[in-house]
Amino acid sequence: MKLVTCCSFKGGAGKTTALMGLCSALATEGKTVALFEADENRPLTRWKENAVKRNTWDPHCEVFTADDLPLLERAYEVAEGRGFDYALADTHGGSSELNNTIIASSNFLLVPTMLTPLDVDEALATYRYIIELLLSESLAIPTAILRQRVPFGKLTASQRSVSDMLTALPLTEQPMFERDAFAAMKVRGMLHLSIRNASNDPAMRLMLRNLDAAMEDLKNLSKFVHQILED
């Protein structure tokens, strides 16, 4: 079982959105996915509840509460025993022994950020923390910055400056663009199943094109994760 973790010390950086999207992309490949919820606000639990109501939850995926060390250890043991292909961990804000354990146990780490000076400052602080932790534990775990809510059009001067700054760090090959489909996942449920439902409703034809475009973004992210884990 491969563990991929989304890390950010700042709330609202997009780590839960990235995790939801990656989960959906992996599920389209037939992978089974365990979701470790270390965030005490329970965004993944609410996501599943909303998805079940809309018939957009994939039974190949499961949410495990993991907001303290014993629960995390139990979640990992159960998920591994059940043969899940992947585990995706959603950390809580700030530094803690729990977050340290998740980071040190991961096979790949994603640090999401939006293109604002404040968000990038927090992402850099998270990235530095991760590198210092890995060095102190003599670990080498691939880590990449994931740019979130990137506009399709021309970037502002501030966004260009921030984006240029990030090029000095490991980045995912493609960002997650600013799409309604990503923003609405928490309410609509798993994206690939939202696409299935929309394809059966002629009134949703226009929305379906947008959902399909978002799914392609996520498939590219999944492909990047696979490449990193296979190296």
Q: What's the total number of domains in the chain?
A: 1
**Residue with the larger pLDDT of the pair 52 and 169:** 52
Q: How many helices (H) and strands (E) does the chain have?
A: 10, 6
| Contact present, 40 and 92 (Cβ < 8 Å) | yes
pLDDT digits (tens, 9 = 90+) for 79-126: 999 999 999 999 887 778 999 999 999 999 999 999 989 888 999 999
Is residue 151 assigned to a domain? Answer: yes
Residue 204 has pLDDT above 80, yes or no: no
Residue 216: partners with Cβ closer than 8 Å, 6 or more residues away:
none
**Residue with the larger pLDDT of the pair 26 and 200:** 26
Is residue 231 assigned to a domain? Answer: no
pLDDT digits (tens, 9 = 90+) for 99-109: 999 999 999 99
**114 lies in which domain range?**
2-225
Is residue 99 assigned to a domain? Answer: yes
Is residue 230 assigned to a domain? Answer: no
Q: What's 165's domain CATH number? A: 3.40.50.300
Is residue 42 assigned to a domain? Answer: yes
Is residue 25 assigned to a domain? Answer: yes
Q: Which pTM was predicted?
A: 0.92
pLDDT digits (tens, 9 = 90+) for 10-22: 777 788 999 999 9
